Chain A
Amino acid sequence: MTTEVVTFKPSDKIREVAETLRAKRISGAPVVDEQGKVVGVVSEADIMKLNATIPFPVVDPLNPFGVFPISAYFKEVERVPEEVAALFEGEVREVMTRKPVTISPDASISDAARIMHKNDFNRIPVVNEVEAGGGRRGGRLVGIIARADVIRVFVK
């Protein structure tokens, strides 16, 4: 697990989040509140979903993933770049995944690998328990475990 974690605040602008993810060469990060409690996870996938809220041009059903989709011929349904860019002025709380799956520092690596594989997650925040019963909702972030950490078993 990595203990020096890049994190965001719920009020951070999506544009800044995207820039930070790109600069740090990571694809996602936890969002924490002032107490350091994990309130969400934001990823490139969430930002891509945001992008899709402005409809894509009509897609040729006979060639849905073709190199030259029909959009090339239907200029009137083109997306307006400024409208797309405006989406990025929102706050990350609007796009983050709330109540994310988290894992305890004592969990096994197989648990982490399985959770990642089943849910198609790239990363899982590692949090301390906050409830006596063992619940970790809203737990304090102690680190993060990502796919790269898990596949490190193969590196000699």
Chain B
Amino acid sequence: MTREVVTVKEEDTVVRVAEVFREKKISGAPVVNERGEVVGVVSEADILKLLDNFKWYTPFFTALEILHLRGRGGGGEKLHDLQQEIERAGETRVKEVMSKDPRTVSPNTSIDDAAFVMHYTGFNRLPVVDSEGTGRLVGIVTRADIIASLYDV
């Protein structure tokens, strides 16, 4: 497992989380409270769900243009409305989009058991919490970690 875990807080905005994900090159993170306890997990998939609700103006935007959306001068009113919607959605708090009942494991959990949990729950990352009962985050194990352990005997 990795002990240095990137975490976010419930009150963080989606914009902040997107920035953190981009900067750290990760696709998800545990959400912790002031006591360091894991209260949820937020991932790219959770943020993506927000975009699914948009009234996109499909004739105007292509897959190639998305990276230049903010820099574009053209588009007029429709682009402006879209940017407003994005900005509003970006203010959504983590607690509104995160998975609230995250699966966790303990430092003593075996590789096979962690793999089982990932396979059957579909979660790609499992926060590792203190098994002494405090529920505090001590690390994280990802699918990549599990896979590496399986073939590296």
Contacts and interface: CB of A to CB of B under 8 A. Distances in A.
Interface string A70-95: 01100000110110110110000000
Contact of A49 (B14, B15, B119, B121): B119
Contact of A27 (B110, B124, B152): B124
B115 A155 contact: no
Interface in B56-81: 56, 58-59, 61-67, 69-70
A113 B119 contact: no
Most chain A CB neighbours (cut-off 10 Å) among B14, B51, B58: B51
Contacts of B69: 153
B150 A67 contact: no
Contact of A44 (B52, B147, B153): B147
Nearest to B115: A51
B22 interface: yes
A1 B64 contact: yes
B34 interface: no
A126 B52 contact: no
Contact of A113 (B22, B25, B51, B120): B51
A101 interface: no
Contact of A155 (B22, B44, B51, B108): B22
A67 B109 contact: yes
A103 B63 CA distance: 9
A81 B44 contact: no
B62 A81 contact: no
Q: Is the interface of A mostly helix, strand, loop or mixed?
A: helix
Contact of B52 (A47, A49, A56, A113): A113
A85 B151 contact: yes
Interface string A43-77: 01101110110001101000011011101100000
A69 B116 contact: yes
Contacts of A145: 63
Contacts of A71: 110, 112-113
Contact of B119 (A48, A84, A103, A109): A48
A131 interface: no
A21 interface: yes
B52 A117 contact: yes
Contacts of A49: 119
Contact of B86 (A106, A114, A147, A154): A154
The 3 closest A-B pairs by CB, nearest first: A110-B56, A154-B18, A88-B151
Given A18-B151, A71-B113, 6 more contacts: A65-B121, A78-B112, A84-B150, A114-B52, A117-B48, A120-B122
